[in-house]
Structure 1
């Protein structure tokens, strides 16, 4: 019994060495590489959140998902009335109705994605404060939701192009819409991450984003041809550097005119997308620990 008591006393006073290299403060921001890898672990949550919010949003209205198609059609009709008929911006534009449809539908996709994405943190503070997860999943899920919502809208756009005279013929260049939409979605995600960080810090800026997208609409040749401003070279250059103009020009050349867009449109769009993804992720990740704080 004496030996047992001594061994217990020695065990009680023994020094246990713990390797703290792998220990981290609770709630601490992970490294950027680890953070990006963790997003893949939450892929099921991203898809579930995207689909569930679509069902919830469309169940509020009597027409449900029909509004996904009606809204851009009504927008296009209003722009055609004002700019096409009253202001005559369609003069000299081949198949102006289809030209306008492509512009309105594709621009609306990006504007809706970045507007919703910018509010992805500020509109979900209860979830952010209650659970520990990479906050970027909320912004990505919002953009996936907008992509899924755009599916019926895209189908409607294609149908209108095919049936409204002069109806367009389907060519192999229509397949370019697949990589174009992929790049456009990545562009939306990058810009949404950047804006979500800003709006999470200064919520009032969300209102300026709506105003900014409206100005962006007028600067992206949605309802007029850029050739109208050939006499202003600096404006033409600025337009060619506008990523949304690049998206619309690539889509129009592929769907309407059966030609290849200027390779510089792809280069400019890819450059913007790459920069926004890198900068957006870094800026968003750098404030990971601050989201949900009381102000």
Structure 2
């Protein structure tokens, strides 16, 4: 009887649960916690980027050779059309080097942003099956594009050193390191912003591909901005174009051994900072909606 009374007393006892730290399953975490969680998933980001590279290369017989062949073939086509047929290289010192840098560096950003914008829409099975910060998919895609770009970057440097008139290595070549870091962060910011909308409206990916082609023609990839000095508004718009800033810094450093206008660094840095902040805020705000049926 005593045991029975004691059991009833225990059953009637009120248990107080502190629910301050309880969250709804799948709820969006706070922004600070969300950003910190991205660092916790760094191993996943590196593994995902490397494994996808290996998988993509196994499909083609030439594998990683295409990482180098594609930009070279693009550069050759642009040289034929714009350099020889249209004569856009007239007045540009070392036009071949000028074109190689433009094509290779622009291709890196356009490829990273296009692939990054599809990071969520192209991985819906993973998004729906597991709980993790979705931004890791965008970052992993950009890390994959960076790793893919490394052999292309080496090829670009070799071409600049060997194509007549061959350039000499100077200390300004080291500026390529912070430039590539800024360019990569710029790509991540743009990818975060665009992937949030492509995740809900997949058709936007086609507009992004079209937009990058227009961007190509507005970034002085195969012509000099001096051709438009008689249109000051256009020149100003070009100076505010982040990709023009990337190409101008690289060309001045690698081809002409000169310091680029400091405004190129300022404009590129401003674009990168704004896109990273806006991109992460916009992407995080829709964290709970990714993978929903439409």
TM-score, structure 2 length as denominator?
Answer: 0.99
The CA distance in 2 between the partners of 1:3 and 1:99, in whole Å, is 93
Distance apart, 1:7 and its partner CA: 1.9
Q: Deviations over 1:79-131 (max 9, x none)?
A: 00000011110001000000000000000000000000000000000000000
Q: Deviations over 1:234-268 (max 9, x none)?
A: 00000000000000000000000000000000000
SS, match of residue 22 in structure 1: coil
Q: Which runs of 5+ in 2 are unaligned?
A: none
Q: How large is the Cα RMSD of the aligned pairs?
A: 0.5
The CA distance in 2 between the partners of 1:267 and 1:60, in whole Å, is 41
The CA distance in 1 between the partners of 2:58 and 2:244, in whole Å, is 34
The CA distance in 2 between the partners of 1:279 and 1:135, in whole Å, is 16
**Is 2:262 the partner of 1:263?**
yes
Name the residue aligned to 1:10: 9
Q: Number of residue pairs matched?
A: 294
1:13-32 aligned within 5 A? 13-32=12-31
The CA distance in 2 between the partners of 1:289 and 1:64, in whole Å, is 38
Distance apart, 1:44 and its partner CA: 0.5
The CA distance in 2 between the partners of 1:58 and 1:9, in whole Å, is 68
Distance apart, 1:5 and its partner CA: 2.3
Name the residue aligned to 1:90: 89
Name the residue aligned to 2:109: 110
1:221-260 aligned within 5 A? 221-260=220-259
Name the residue aligned to 1:160: 159
Name the residue aligned to 1:201: 200
Name the residue aligned to 1:210: 209
Name the residue aligned to 1:124: 123
Q: Deviations over 1:120-174 (max 9, x none)?
A: 0000000000000000000000000000000000000000000000000000000
The CA distance in 2 between the partners of 1:211 and 1:104, in whole Å, is 17
Distance apart, 1:9 and its partner CA: 1.0
Name the residue aligned to 2:99: 100
SS, match of residue 16 in structure 2: coil
The CA distance in 2 between the partners of 1:19 and 1:242, in whole Å, is 53
SS, match of residue 26 in structure 2: coil
The CA distance in 1 between the partners of 2:270 and 2:190, in whole Å, is 13
The CA distance in 2 between the partners of 1:81 and 1:184, in whole Å, is 28
SS, match of residue 235 in structure 1: helix
Q: Which runs of 5+ in 1 are unaligned?
A: none
Distance apart, 1:52 and its partner CA: 0.3
